[in-house]
Amino acid sequence: MEWHDIQNPDDKLLDELAARYSLHPLHVEDCRQDAQRTKAETGEGYLFISLKQMAFDDSGRLATGDLALFVGGDFLLTIHRAPVALLEPLRAAKGELHPDQVLYRVMDAFVESYIPLVERLESSIERLEDVVVGAPRPTVLENIGEARSTLLELRRVLNGTRHIVVQLRHIPGPLINQELSPFLRDVQDDLAIILDNIGADRDRLAGALDLYMSSIANRNAEATKTLTLLGTAALPGIVITSIFGMNIEYPSWVKSHSMFAIVMMTSLAVTLFLLWYLRRKDYLPGGTTSGSTNN
């Protein structure tokens, strides 16, 4: 088997190999374009496959890289820009493997590399669930949005990879040995399990978002309730003082030196009675239901 690993898609070597193995120009063009979708296509005497390598970068965001493969009966081309570490041990054993076996092992290794990403995302969602139960900050909503975007990207890539595996299991001809079908089915099963976990994580993330919105709504309602009760408690004093502050003629006893103390005491008494009543009806924050229960 001849294996050519090209780490620069713009290299002229790719054009030479394309002419040598009669590769379709559109497939060669796909190798040189970034952000290709995950796919598998049949060429004239070869298979063209585009896979996604995914990893979290230092900032915690999901980074993706393309790996294109041309799989023929006696040759294999791998084209990529970013380093693909899992290719090194396979290249060391290329004399013992056929192109379709290398393809299977590459796909199996890629699927295995997706599992830690999903596990890390699950841990992140668990932390978000713990945070939204308390008093979440506005940054929590941003974190939920980032986790949702990562989930969508993972699901998109995994769905495309599963579609490739299904295609490979049913491709007629000698390019894919039928003995690999059980192994490809095992890869398909692994992808199905990961996708099920992603579906469950998506539901958990939606639940975390609902909890966040409910928590914010409850905090706003509690703040509104507190301000309303404070305004209600201040109302008796405002009414009483406004009566004595009107520009009208009052009886002579109103001008007594003790009237100020009487007004203040009356306002305080009415306010305390109102607070006691609100507390008894369990309207104040932190109140109990004992008053309403006894009634």
Mean pLDDT of the chain: 82
Burial of 121 (0-12, 13-18, 19+ CB in 10 A): buried
Q: How high is the pLDDT of residue 292?
A: 42
Q: How high is the pLDDT of residue 295?
A: 41
Q: What is the pLDDT of residues 201-237, one digit of tens each?
A: 888 888 888 878 777 777 777 777 777 777 777 777 7
Residue 294 confidence class, pLDDT cut points 50, 70, 90: very low
Least confident residue range of 18-27, 109-118, 121-130, 137-146:
137-146
Q: How high is the pLDDT of residue 253?
A: 63
Q: Is the pLDDT of residue 52 over 70?
A: yes
Mean pLDDT of the 152-160 span:
90
Percent of the residues in the chain that have a pLDDT greater than 70, as a whole number: 89
* Contact yes or no for 188/165 (Cβ under 8 A): yes
Bridge partners (DSSP) listed for residue 3:
76
Mean pLDDT of the 164-186 span:
85
Q: How high is the pLDDT of residue 191?
A: 92
Question: Distance between CA atoms of 209 and 107, rounded to whole angstroms?
Answer: 34
Q: What is the pLDDT of residues 123-146, one digit of tens each?
A: 888 888 888 776 677 788 888 888
How far are the Cα atoms of 3, 5, 7, 66, 271 from residue 85, in angstroms, in the given order? 16, 12, 12, 13, 75
